[in-house]
Chains A and B, each alone.
Chain A
Amino acid sequence: MSSVIKSWADAEDEIPQPEVTTNPDGTKTVISYRLNTKGQKVKITQKIKEVKVQERVHPSIAIRKNWSKYGKEKNTPPGPDTRTTQLGEIVELNLGTSWKEVEKQEEEAQEEKKLQNVQRIKCRICGGEHFTSKCPFKDTLGAEAAANELANAEAAAAQDGGDDGSMQNGKYVPRHMRRDASGNLPVQQGRDDSTTLRVSQLNNIVDEDMLRNELFARYGPLQRVTVVRDRDTGDSRGFAYVAFASEGLAEQALNELNGKGYHSLILHLEWSKKKK
């Protein structure tokens, strides 16, 4: 899927791309993620059915419905494609002059409801609501139970690819190392970073436009320019990622600008991914 989330530099470790699987009964399962208001990640599992609907419309619309697709959609089957078209979360539109209060109340009620659906922590030794390491029966029920559990967990992980994958064997597994829905370890695909430079020691006043239009204008057109910013204040953290059209251009920029001064600071440029 190609979509621009607010900043591609930190998008990766915030919200994973949605996964779509086709079920034998013709329905689709879409797993997507979002952050809730507390900054926790929420996994949304949607089961989607395609339905045929009949409608009475203007004749010209009927004709247009039968047009064949073109451009990037050429040869895609009829019906919405999940890569470009997805159903969003339900949003509320409470009309009225006092919409502000109504909205606030509903928001609170919703968050509360969601909290109830939250999976609680479960101890692997006694099943209580605490972390396994904090279990009061750790010593009495002993290592045996833990070992059993561990084995079970491993088996389960092997079987279904480890539930949500984040807590395999109770250990943290970085996202890019996790198994995907079909149980395979992901191959590093994603973005091609071979043309991306990391630019550091940037003055805080420098923004994307300045990089695009001033500093790297000569090496343009640029694929992407992202200044890494503080999540709370929006201030620049003094470094940026710049993706060039080609590796050659990137190299040229690296050679020519590394160590040069820009807005009172000496620039430092390097490949965003180490060359192999």
Chain B
Amino acid sequence: MRPIKLMGHERSLTQVKFNREGDLIFSVAKDNAASIWYSSNGERLGTLEGHRGTIWSIAVDLETKLCATGSADLSIKLWDVSTGECVYTFDMPTPVRRVEFSPDNKKLLAVTDQVMGQIGTITIFDINYEDVYNQNAEPSLVITTREDAKKVSVAAWTANGKYIIAGHEDGYISKYDGTTGAFIETVQAHGIHNTETNLLVTDIQLAPEDQSYFITACKDKCSVLIDVETFQILKVYKTDAPMNTAAITSKKDFVILGGGQEARNVTTTAESQGKFEARFYHKIFIDEIGRVKGHFGPLNTIAAHPDGTAYASGGEDGYIRLHHFDKSYFDFEYDAERTERAIASGAT
């Protein structure tokens, strides 16, 4: 596997994402510009210039028409993906940690930080998709952090915008009604598998096939798979380092986790350079089945290609590494999977 190094950022990456077809990669970092890349060859389509602070998150709608960025400069910007033009800016009271379009492109959720005396929220804006320059600056819904819960660090929509899933800094995951914002249930997903004390949920990504389950990443060195409807924990993946990101792959039943000890806690000898690894786990058997080296710092964000043919990782080192999988990757099978396939092919 020969990765393509994307070196358009000057600071640590904060998020990378593929669009629905997987031909474009959207990346943001602690510098002030987002980058958009062609995934097939790593060519940069362009940059989105205009923020004045760290961009924490980027989202792209299903049609790859609009893209939203949430920044520490107290704003969310909407961009025209085809031209790179900023079409609208929402002013926010606190830094924005996450943005995500609802699956029908009609709404945008934003996780606002709990700082400067403000309570953290999940704020939802209605998006005027027809006349993009004309947006309602007022949110259509604000879900403030419940009194009995800790601050929300990440959030995501489920299929058809039915629910909003939120990850808290104490390892709990909550489910809200996507239309009314009503709280439905919460589950302790982290802090129960080991004795770690930092339980910040760092990432939530939904299953690519139908968004009916999702994976979390957490500083407690674990990732868990949770069903959206039942809110049951399906699988737990245990690692040996704090995790910053987790993605579910399609085509193969794998999950990819990324993280690592903070650079300043690691002894950096020549030998350990470039040894920060993306970890591959089997989604169903929860075994760790491989690692990909290459980064010079912890992995902050991982995105899997919607077709399951590639993945991109963004590191604290400021690089994005884009990997297109080899044949051997697709060939790998567990004995049980092979048997299953044999039975299936025999039956049909």
Given contacts A6-B297, A99-B291, A207-B264, contact A80 B2 (CB under 8 A): no
Check B294–A233 contact: CB distance below 8 A: no
Q: Which residues of B contact A5 (CB under 8 A)?
A: 296, 317-318
Check A35–B270 contact: CB distance below 8 A: yes
Check A38–B270 contact: CB distance below 8 A: yes
For B27-48 the 0/1 string (1 means CB < 8 A from A) is: 0000001010110111111111
A256 within 8 A of B: no
Q: Interface centre among B269, B288, B294, by most A CB within 10 Å?
A: B269
Check A35–B21 contact: CB distance below 8 A: no
Given contacts A5-B296, A95-B328, A96-B289, contact A80 B318 (CB under 8 A): no
Of the candidates B48, B273, B318, the one whose C-beta lies within 8 Å of that of A4 is B318
A174 within 8 A of B: no
The range of chain A's interface size is 35 or more
Q: Interface centre among A1, A64, A86, A234, by most B CB within 10 Å?
A: A64
Check B46–A55 contact: CB distance below 8 A: no
Of the candidates A6, A84, A92, A99, the one whose C-beta lies within 8 Å of that of B289 is A99
Check A6–B296 contact: CB distance below 8 A: yes
A-B contact pairs, 7 of them (CB 8 A): A2-B10, A5-B317, A71-B48, A81-B43, A88-B321, A95-B290, A99-B290
Of the candidates B40, B45, B267, B326, the one whose C-beta lies within 8 Å of that of A232 is B267
B residues 230-275 touching A (CB-CB < 8 Å): 263-271, 273
Q: Which residues of A contact B7 (CB under 8 A)?
A: 1-3, 83-86
A87 within 8 A of B: yes
Check A91–B46 contact: CB distance below 8 A: no
Complex CA distance for A147 and B291, rounded to whole angstroms: 54
Given contacts A1-B7, A90-B2, contact A57 B296 (CB under 8 A): no
Complex CA distance for A4 and B30, rounded to whole angstroms: 12
Q: Which residues of A contact B270 (CB under 8 A)?
A: 35, 37-39, 231
B5 within 8 A of A: yes
Of the candidates B5, B265, B273, the one whose C-beta lies within 8 Å of that of A85 is B5
- A91-B293, A95-B290, A232-B268 known; 18 new pairs, CB 8 Å cut-off, are A3-B7, A6-B297, A35-B270, A61-B23, A64-B45, A65-B23, A70-B45, A70-B83, A71-B33, A71-B47, A73-B45, A84-B6, A84-B7, A90-B2, A93-B1, A95-B280, A96-B290, A99-B289
For B328-343 the 0/1 string (1 means CB < 8 A from A) is: 1100100000000000
The 6 closest A-B pairs by CB, nearest first: A71-B47, A70-B84, A70-B46, A39-B270, A4-B318, A95-B332
| Nearest residue, chain B, Cβ from A72 | B47
Q: Which residues of B contact A93 (CB under 8 A)?
A: 1, 280, 290-292, 325-326, 328-329
Q: Interface centre among A81, A89, A91, by most B CB within 10 Å?
A: A91
Check B43–A234 contact: CB distance below 8 A: no
Complex CA distance for A81 and B7, rounded to whole angstroms: 10
Q: Which residues of B contact A148 (CB under 8 A)?
A: none
A252 within 8 A of B: no
Check B46–A74 contact: CB distance below 8 A: yes
Query: What is the CB-to-nearest-CB distance from B217 to chain A, in angstroms, rounded to a whole number?
Result: 20
Q: Which residues of A contact B5 (CB under 8 A)?
A: 85-88
Complex CA distance for A96 and B297, rounded to whole angstroms: 25
Q: Which residues of B contact A149 (CB under 8 A)?
A: none
Check A73–B11 contact: CB distance below 8 A: no
B82 within 8 A of A: yes
Q: Which residues of B contact A23 (CB under 8 A)?
A: none
Check B23–A86 contact: CB distance below 8 A: no
Query: What is the CB-to-nearest-CB distance from B321 to chain A, in angstroms, rounded to a whole number?
Result: 6
B287 within 8 A of A: yes
Check B64–A60 contact: CB distance below 8 A: yes
Complex CA distance for A88 and B6, rounded to whole angstroms: 10
For A1-16 the 0/1 string (1 means CB < 8 A from B) is: 1111110000000000
Q: Which residues of A contact B287 (CB under 8 A)?
A: 97
Complex CA distance for A183 and B287, rounded to whole angstroms: 54
Given contacts A87-B2, A92-B1, contact A69 B44 (CB under 8 A): yes
Q: Interface centre among A55, A94, A207, by most B CB within 10 Å?
A: A94
B4 within 8 A of A: yes
Given contacts A64-B23, A71-B46, A71-B84, contact A91 B3 (CB under 8 A): yes
Check A91–B292 contact: CB distance below 8 A: yes
| Nearest residue, chain A, Cβ from B29 | A4
